[in-house]
Structure 1
Amino acid sequence: MTISPLRRLLLLRHAKAARPPGTADHERPLSGRGRRDARAAGRLLAKEDWLPDLVLCSTARRTRETWELAAAELAGLPQVRFEPRLYHPPVPQLLAVVHEVPAHVSTLLVIGHNPSLRDTILMAAGDGVGQRVREVEEKFPTAAVALLAWRGTWDGLDARTALLTGLAVARGARPGPS
């Protein structure tokens, strides 16, 4: 009897973005807090040993900046692909991107936006450890990371097929007084 491989899908919502006047949504940069939280997200991924084999990142500026700052906190850098289909997709489109992931990838990190990430977590999580599903229902804030796990293939991720095993929000320390 062959046991299906364990798959881990990490979903990271971009860190807090600024809203400069006249800037298109796709080009919004991270705020100061966002830059601190993005670095903290990288430290969180390293501390929890949530290290991806592959990163799929929305093409929006705030997601790219989140990855760049988080990656600087990691010991090794996985392959990264900037994916235009991850810019505010409906859940079926986000799942279609995940379903294309090569079989050799065990842990995938998707960096994207709400409500897409929140809705994907709630759709895919058949259950969660503790109150995690309820916490996501209430709020999936900026710089939050969720970990879904299941045995099977990437294209097997569907409604209620995964377990929400990890949930954390990365917050960087505020700068002290000058």
Structure 2
Amino acid sequence: MSTADAKTLIVLRHAKAGWPDSADDHARPLAERGHAQAPAAGDWLRENGLVPDAIVCSDALRTRQTCVWVCERLGELAPTPYLDPRLYHADAAKALAIVNETEETTRSLLVVGHMPWVQNLGMRLMSLDSDQDAALRMSEHYPTLGMQVFRVEKPWAELDGRDAALTHFVVPGR
């Protein structure tokens, strides 16, 4: 696969979540700040021409709410998200296995999830030709709404490690 045929993988950590006394971790909603910050991810994707063909999202409330805000900002361009409960308790290997299931017709995939696997997945995937500044920022601190963008030059099913170039690490709205 040539660079011109490359696909895009976007890994997004959910926006800032609250800690209500009555909610278990899976049911934690976005905090007021999270609702305010989450739309910026959709704005950034649209402004940078990175509208995904497909979205896979953890089924936890805070990731679903983040995804709703992103899709609202993408408007008519937003694909229907697929909620995958496996992403809630995933580690980097499980999250990568879910990415590996992506149909090859998908040119751009957004995965919405949680720490620590979002950061660990990025560390696992980064190839030597990754942007060094983005890699350093991502590895040092991965705040809520942190987003990684990777260039993928092989089939989704073959992604394994050190084989995707990190091109961006951003925290939209900051």
Output the TM-score relative to the length of structure 2. Answer: 0.93
For residues 80 and 106 of structure 2, what CA distance do their matches in structure 1 show?
A: 10
More strand, by proportion: 1
> 1:116-135 residue pairs with structure 2 within 5 A?
116-127=117-128, 128-135=130-137
> What secondary structure, in the 3-state scheme, does the structure 1 residue paired with 2:109 have?
strand
For residues 73 and 60 of structure 2, what CA distance do their matches in structure 1 show?
A: 21
Partner residue of 2:15? Answer: 15
Runs of 4+ in 1 over 6 A off after TM superposition: none
CA RMSD in angstroms comes to 1.4
8 Å contact from structure 2 (residues 11, 111) kept in 1: yes
Partner residue of 2:157? Answer: 155
Note the C-alpha offset of 1:40: 1.0
For residues 37 and 123 of structure 2, what CA distance do their matches in structure 1 show?
A: 24
Partner residue of 1:89? Answer: 90
- The aligned amino acid for 1:152 is K
Residue 70, structure 1, aligned to residue 53, structure 2:
no
For residues 14 and 62 of structure 1, what CA distance do their matches in structure 2 show?
A: 6
> What secondary structure, in the 3-state scheme, does the structure 2 residue paired with 1:164 have?
strand
> What secondary structure, in the 3-state scheme, does the structure 1 residue paired with 2:90 have?
coil
Unaligned runs of 5+ in 1: 173-178
More helix, by proportion: 2
Identity of aligned residues (%): 33
Note the C-alpha offset of 1:61: 0.1
> What secondary structure, in the 3-state scheme, does the structure 1 residue paired with 2:81 have?
strand
Give the number of the structure whose alpha-carbon radius of gyration is greater.
Answer: 1
8 Å contact from structure 1 (residues 36, 171) kept in 2: no
Partner residue of 1:42? Answer: 42
Note the C-alpha offset of 1:120: 0.3
Note the C-alpha offset of 1:126: 1.4
Give the total of aligned pairs.
Answer: 171
